[in-house]
Amino acid sequence: MKLLPVGRVIVIGSVNADRILRCPVLPAPGETVLTTAATQGFGGKGANQAVAAARMGAAVHLVAKVGRDADGEAALTDLRGAEVETGSVLTHPDAPTGQAIVMVDPAGENSIVVVPGANAHLTAAEVTAALARLHLLPVDVLLTSGEVPEECIRATAAALPADGTHWVHNAAPAGSLPDTGPTGRRPLVVANAVEARQLTGAPTVEEAARALARRADGVVLTLGSEGALVATEGRSARLPAPAVQVVDTTGAGDVFCGALAAGLARGVSLPAAAATAVAAGAFAVTALGARGALPRPTDL
C-alpha cells in the first residue's frame, strides 16, 4: 500500500468571543428587538476553521492575535483543548480580544457584527515570521479569511513555496479579493452567495463563480441547503447537501473551510474534499453557535 504524505492546515485568521443573541426577527434598520436568549461562545472565523479542521483529523496551527484579557486566555485554553497548535497565537498588550455580536432568528439565519480588537493588530511581519518558523511544505494547506488585515493575506501569499502548497482564501467578510501583487499567487476562493454577489455584482451564483474563477485558482461557493458549487478551469459542478434540521447557520462556512482544508491536506481531490465539506457544513447548522456542532469524520 502506498502511503500519501499528509500536510498540515495552517490557519491565518481571527479569534473572537461571540455573544450569541436569539432574536424573534433580525432587526431591520431603525428597528429594536428583544432577545429570547443570550449566550456566550467561542468564535472568530480563523479559530472556528482551525478547530473544525482539527476535529476532522488534521494537524492544525493557528496564526492569530488575541488581547491580554480573560477572553483571550479562555480562547487559547479552548483552542489547545481542541488540539490546535497555538504557538503562533500572539497577545496584544492593550487591544482587547475580538468580539462578535451574533444575532440568530428562529429559522437559523444570522447577522453578525465584529469588533476586530486584537485581530486588527496582527501584522504582515508577524505572519511572515510565523510561517518561516513553520517551514512550509508543499503538502501543507494555508487558510486565510477576511477578519485579519489584508497585509497579513499578502504576507501569506508571499510565503508560499514556489509550487505545491494549497492556499484557500475564505472571502468572509467579502471586502475584496486579496491583491497579492508581484507574487502572482492566487488562492482557491471560498465564498457564500452573498459574498460572491458582493465581490462580482453577478446576478446568479453560476455567473459569480465564473467571474471569480477568472481571478482565482478555483472557486467554491457555499449555498446553504443547496450544497455547493465548485468551479475550476472552465468547468463547474454542483454538490448537493443532505437535508438537516437547521438551528443556527453561524459558523457553517467556517466548518466548511476547515473540513475542506483538512481534506486537501490529506491529498484528497478538490471535488471530494468539497463534498465532505458540504456534509460538515450541514452538520454544523444543527446546533446553536459557531462551535455548537463540529463534526468528526465518523459523524459524516
Sequence-ordered alpha helix ranges (H) in 82-220: 124-134, 150-159, 193-200, 205-213
Burial call 102-140: b when 16+ CB within 10 Å, e when fewer = bbbbeebebebebebbbbbbbebebbbbbbeebebeebb
Nearer CB in complex with ligand RIB: 49/86: 49
Among 7, 9, 11, 45, binds ligand RIB (CB under 6 A): 45
Among 71, 126, 140, 147, binds ligand RIB (CB under 6 A): 147
- Strand extents, DSSP E, the chain: 9-12, 16-22, 37-43, 60-67, 84-92, 98-104, 110-115, 141-145, 166-170, 188-192, 219-222, 228-232, 235-239
Residue 144 interacting with ligand RIB (CB under 6 A): no
Residue 42 DSSP code: E
Nearer CB in complex with ligand RIB: 50/177: 50
3-state helix, strand, coil in the chain (%, to 5): 35, 25, 40
Q: Is 254 a catalytic residue?
A: yes
User: Residue 150 CB, nearest distance to ligand RIB (Å)?
Assistant: 16
- The interface region with ligand RIB, picked from 23-31, 41-49, 152-160, 273-281 by CB under 6 A, is 41-49
**Catalytic residue selected from 18, 140, 254, 299:** 254
- The interface region with ligand RIB, picked from 87-95, 196-204, 234-242, 247-255 by CB under 6 A, is 247-255
Residue 18 interacting with ligand RIB (CB under 6 A): yes
**Rg for the chain (alpha carbons), in Å?**
18
User: Residue 203 CB, nearest distance to ligand RIB (Å)?
Assistant: 25
Residues found near ligand RIB in the complex (CB under 6 A): 14, 16, 18, 43-45, 48, 100, 102, 112, 114, 147, 250-251, 253-254, 290
Active-site amino acid positions:
254
